[in-house]
Amino acid sequence: MPPRCPLHIVTGKGGVGKTTIALALAHRLAGEGARVVIAEVEGRGGLALATGGEVGPEPAPLTTPRGELQGVEIDARASLAGYLQRYYRLGFAADLLQMDPLVDFATRIAPGLRDILLIGQVTHLRDNHPEIDALVLDAPPSGRIGAFLGAGEALAELTDGSPIAEQAVSVMDDLRDPGCRIHVVTLLDELPLTEAVETVQVVRGLGLAVGAVVANRCLTVPAVPDPLPPPPAGITAAQWSAMIAELIAEAETARGQTAWHALLEHRTGQDVVRVPEADPGAGVDPALLAELLGSL
């Protein structure tokens, strides 16, 4: 079997811009001339929302400004189907998939089974599509990432000898492959940052490789004139002091971010990749952000 393409797993607390950064990373990789697929699991429609197009169970071109990315959505049912087809007779597998209650039951009740099926399907995308040069996974939010990535370990222990254990072991091998990196996205603020630090620890605890730690929507400290100037002609004293208050508040927030940034580097032992806040009103173009990510 030829060596598998790199797998980039992107996670972070809800609301930090995980999908945007995953797209930016995909653009970054595609910019080097690679064929890149971006996948989401149990689609909350993040990819479709971000690109304004449809995302289905087979890789298909995304409607992005440069059009070179492919997107795919992996759901539990398709994952179970993929698993059954890999391990069982076709007829048996097909009969089973006719039974909705079974699909629901099997993918919900067993510890980690759903996650193993999902990750298994993601990593097997690379076998079914050898033309893919890089695969980016817009993963579940970091609150669940430990359970998601650690499911293989838990399941392999429980089910020693059964077919699903084989899948669990092979999934953990795939994740521990040097070509697999887990990138953690955060904001420079208390809650997302605390969660990012915990995520990095969990990922390392599982023996997996942390890729980049990305700080999204970073502010630049604005210059505050000293001494503060008097109001220009036509602006009232009240309006002027409110404008100055806006400027000082932003400077304080930005300086607070500088402190959070230092703490994040200290706690994770990694350099943090900064992605600045998009120009207001210009919207976020992941293709442009791609250049900022450098060589992850």
Partner 1 sequence: MTAPLLDALLHRPHLRVLLCVGTGGVGKTTLSAALAVRAALLGRRVVVVTIDPARRLAQAMGLDGLAHEPTPVHVPGANGSLDAMMLDVRHAFDQALIGQVSVEEADRIRANPFYRALAETFSGTQEYVAMEKIGELHRLAAGDGRWDLIVVDTPPSASALDFLDGPNRLEALAHNPLLRVVLGLPRGPFGFLDAGAALATRALDTILGGRLFADLRTFLQVFERAVLAFESNAVETRRLLASEAAAFLAVAAPRPDPVAEAAALVQRLGEEGLPLSGLVVNQVSPVVDVPPDLLATAELDADHPQRQVLAHHRRNLARVRAERWAIEPLERFRVPTTLIARQPGGVNDVESLAALLGGLEQQASPGRDV
Contacts with partner 1, residue ranges (CB under 8 A): 13-16, 19, 44, 46, 49, 88, 92, 95-96, 99, 101-102, 104-106, 108-113, 140-141, 143-144, 147, 154, 158-165, 190-192, 194, 222-225, 228-235, 239-240, 242-244, 246-247, 249-250, 252-253, 279-281, 283
Taking the least distance from each CB to partner 1, the nearer of 110 and 296 is: 110
Q: What is the smallest separation between the CB atom of 34 and partner 1, expressed in angstroms?
A: 27
Q: What is the smallest separation between the CB atom of 94 and partner 1, expressed in angstroms?
A: 11
Q: What is the smallest separation between the CB atom of 131 and partner 1, expressed in angstroms?
A: 31
Q: Is the peptide bond before 227 cis (omega within 30 degrees of 0)?
A: yes
Taking the least distance from each CB to partner 1, the nearer of 124 and 126 is: 124
Taking the least distance from each CB to partner 1, the nearer of 33 and 280 is: 280
Taking the least distance from each CB to partner 1, the nearer of 8 and 114 is: 114
Calpha distance 110→164 (Å, rounded): 11
Taking the least distance from each CB to partner 1, the nearer of 49 and 60 is: 49
Q: What is the smallest separation between the CB atom of 182 and partner 1, expressed in angstroms?
A: 18
Q: What is the smallest separation between the CB atom of 163 and partner 1, expressed in angstroms?
A: 7
Q: What is the smallest separation between the CB atom of 2 and partner 1, expressed in angstroms?
A: 30
Q: What is the smallest separation between the CB atom of 295 and partner 1, expressed in angstroms?
A: 28
Calpha distance 201→127 (Å, rounded): 30
CB 5 within 8 A of CB 59: no
Taking the least distance from each CB to partner 1, the nearer of 68 and 285 is: 285
Taking the least distance from each CB to partner 1, the nearer of 134 and 188 is: 188
